[in-house]
Amino acid sequence: MSVKTMGFPGRYTQGPGALDEIGCLFEELQYHSPLLVTDVAVRDKVRPDTARQLSAIGATPQFIDFPGECTRPVIEELTASALGYRADSIVAFGGGKTIDAAKGTARALDLPIVVCPTTASSDAPTSRLIVLYDEAHRVVDVDYLNRNPAAILVDSELIANAPPRLFAAGIGDALSKRFEARQCQAANGRNSFGTMPSDTALLFTDTVYERLKQYAPEAYASVCRQQWTPAVEAVIETTVLNSGIGFESGGLSLAHALIRGMTAIPAMADMLHGELVAFGTLVEVLVEKQPETVISELLSLMEAVNLPMTLAEMGQIDSLDQIQLETMAEATLATGYSRNMNPPLREGTLVAAVLEADERGTQWRLGR
């Protein structure tokens, strides 16, 4: 019997108006000089109230705009700002890349981080994972916080008013977790803590998939109307909290490995993380030779929340040529996640599954 590790954020608060708790939270945690890294898209929505609440408890917040891409140079710039300000904590306001850049800053300075996601576009908020990109939007590396975020504040009313595409991307990111964690376990792979996944972690990932089947179509329709509903609340908890704990403690596999391969193709490099993962999930279930009922169920759910299911919808209008297919496969197989497959993944199997996924998605769109 091997030792197994799971990780969790220090605390998790979710609901309409959850950001109103930030003053009380910082007073309790005794953070007095936070640097708040803010996505410019939500700056005017969150800064005034946040500044007022933090000032009311005697804190002196300093705001800085996120430049738009989570690269090492950006993290170095943010780190220099935090040092100059003598920050005692880092706060992230925004989506996945804003959060990762703030995490990178917290890691560099060994400071606690509080994450306030303004979209539910990925399960980045709860985890230690930091995904790094280059200026061409390609994934180049992964770093880790020394510890999970100290706190997560998820204002579900704010998220319900964010663009529906971002909400769908969060669903796409979460869709994979059941399949990836199961493959990680089957291949004797390791989670982000370097241990085998626990049974509890797999329960988290199973719950994620079942709750998405139950609530995601209704929740997505509500977000398209910019309307908060109990289904929206359920999906946010699923895609942010449950999926985050599930992937970090359960492990990742092909669906996330394929991100490296797809973003190596320029036409697909600008797709959202969760959109890439959703298509990667379709590829993975085909590699696994899942029953037709599972494949159809997945395609139906992807269609219900408007996730891409063909290469053309991923930006690759022309058919991939042999060189592009080899480039995609090589970049995918170079990742550690790709080794969490049983039986081991081969280039020919991967290429065939990518092409089959594209064909399956095309035929599904045509109603066949």
Residue-wise pLDDT for 65-80, tens only, equals: 999 899 999 999 999 9
Cα separation, 253 vs 147, whole angstroms? 23
Residue 312 has pLDDT above 70, yes or no: yes
Query: Is 133 known to sit in a ligand binding site?
Result: yes
| 120, amino acid identity | A
Tens-digit pLDDT profile for residues 224-236:
999 999 999 999 9
Q: Please provide the size of the chain in residues.
A: 368
Please say whether the beta carbons of 101 and 108 come within 8 A: no
Decide: helix, strand or coil at residue 241.
helix
**Is 121 annotated for ligand binding?**
yes
Gap between the Cα atoms of 347 and 328, Å rounded = 10
Provide the pLDDT confidence category of residue 11 given band limits of 50, 70 and 90.
very high
CATH code reported for the domain at 12-160: 3.40.50.1970
Helix boundaries (H) for the chain: 22-29, 43-56, 72-85, 96-109, 156-160, 164-175, 177-186, 199-224, 230-236, 243-250, 254-263, 273-287, 292-304, 322-333, 347-365
Q: Would the pTM count as exceeding 0.85?
A: yes
pLDDT tens-digit series, residues 127-142: 999 999 888 877 888 8
Whether residue 97 is annotated as binding a ligand: the answer is yes
Q: According to the annotation, is 85 in a ligand binding site?
A: no
283-305 pLDDT, tens per residue?
999 999 999 999 999 999 999 99
Q: Which of 267, 228, 196, 281 is nearest to 120 (CA)?
A: 228
Segment 356-366 mean pLDDT:
97
Is 173 assigned to a binding site?
Answer: yes
pLDDT surpasses 80 at 368: no
pLDDT at 216 over 70: yes
With contact defined as beta carbons under 8 Å apart, do 50 and 184 qualify? no
Mean pLDDT (whole number) for 309-330: 97
The response to whether 10 counts as a known ligand-binding position is no
96 marked as part of a ligand binding site: yes
Residue 110 annotated as binding site? no
Domains of the chain by residue range? 12-160, 164-365
- What amino acid occupies position 137? H
Binding residue per annotation — 118?
yes
- Choose the CATH number for 164-365 among 1.10.1660.10, 3.40.50.1950, 1.20.1090.10, 1.10.300.10: 1.20.1090.10
The reported pLDDT for the residue numbered 140 is: 85
Whether 13 has a binding-site annotation, put simply, is no
Q: Tell me: is residue 220 an annotated ligand-binding position.
A: no
